[in-house]
Chain A
Amino acid sequence: MQITPLGDNALVLELGDVIDESTHLRVQKVWRALAAAPLPGVTELVPAYTTVTAFYDPLAAVRAGAPEGDIADWLGVKLRERIKDPPKSEKFKSRTVEIPVCYDAEFGPDLGLVAKQAKLTPEEVVKRHAKPEYLVYLVGFAPGFPYLGGLPKELRTPRHAKPRMAVPPGSVGIGGEQTGIYPLATPGGWNLIGRTPMKLFRPGEEPPVLLRAGDRVKFKAITREEFAKLEEAR
Chain B
Amino acid sequence: MIRVLKPGLLTTVQDLGRPGYQQYGIVVGGALDAFAARAANLIVGNDEGAAVLELAQTGPDLRFARDMIVAWCGADFDAKIGGESFPRDRAVRVAAGETVSFGFARSGLRAWLAVAGGIDVPLVMGSRSTYRRAGIGGHQGRPLAADDNLATGRASEWAQRILASLQAGARRATAWTVRPDTMGRPAPAGVVRALRGPEWDWFTVEAQLAFFRTTWKATREADRMGVRLDGPELALEKPREMISSSVNAGVVQVPPAGKPIVLLPSRQSVGGYPRLAAVVAVDLRRFTQLQPGDTVRFEEIPLAAAHALHLAREHDLNRARLGLARLTG
Contact = CB atoms under 8 A, between A and B. Distances in A.
Q: Bound pair: A and B?
A: yes
Interface of A: 4-10, 12, 17-19, 43-51, 53, 55, 58-59, 62, 68-72, 138-145, 147, 183-184, 186, 201, 203-204, 207-209, 212-213
Contacts of A53: 245-246, 248
User: Which residue, B21, B250, B311, has most C-beta atoms of chain A within 10 A?
Assistant: B21
A184 B311 contact: no
Given A7-B249, A46-B270, 17 more contacts: A6-B247, A6-B278, A7-B248, A7-B281, A10-B248, A12-B245, A17-B243, A46-B22, A49-B244, A68-B308, A68-B311, A139-B23, A139-B25, A140-B270, A147-B244, A186-B133, A203-B124
Contacts of B314: 59
Interface string B130-141: 000110100000
A143 B134 contact: yes
Nearest to A50: B243
A10 B310 CA distance: 14
Interface of B: 19-26, 124-125, 133-134, 136, 195, 197-198, 243-251, 268-270, 275, 278-281, 303-304, 306-308, 310-311, 314
Given A17-B243, A19-B243, A45 B281 contact: no
Contacts, number: 134
A58 B315 CA distance: 12
A6 B268 contact: no
A201 B279 CA distance: 32
A204 to B, nearest CB: 7
B134 A201 contact: yes
Contacts of A10: 246, 248
B197 A6 contact: yes
26 contacts: A5-B303, A6-B247, A7-B279, A8-B278, A8-B281, A9-B248, A9-B310, A44-B20, A46-B269, A48-B244, A49-B244, A55-B19, A59-B310, A72-B303, A72-B307, A138-B244, A139-B24, A140-B25, A140-B270, A143-B21, A183-B25, A184-B133, A203-B134, A204-B125, A212-B23, A212-B24
User: Which residue, B134, B270, B308, has most C-beta atoms of chain A within 10 A?
Assistant: B270
A58 B134 CA distance: 30
Contacts of A71: 304, 307
A178 to B, nearest CB: 10
A46 B134 contact: no
A55 B268 contact: no
Contacts of A51: 245-246
Contacts of B306: 8
B134 A140 contact: no
Nearest to A71: B307
User: Which residue, A18, A140, A184, has most C-beta atoms of chain B within 10 A?
Assistant: A140
Contacts of A59: 310-311, 314
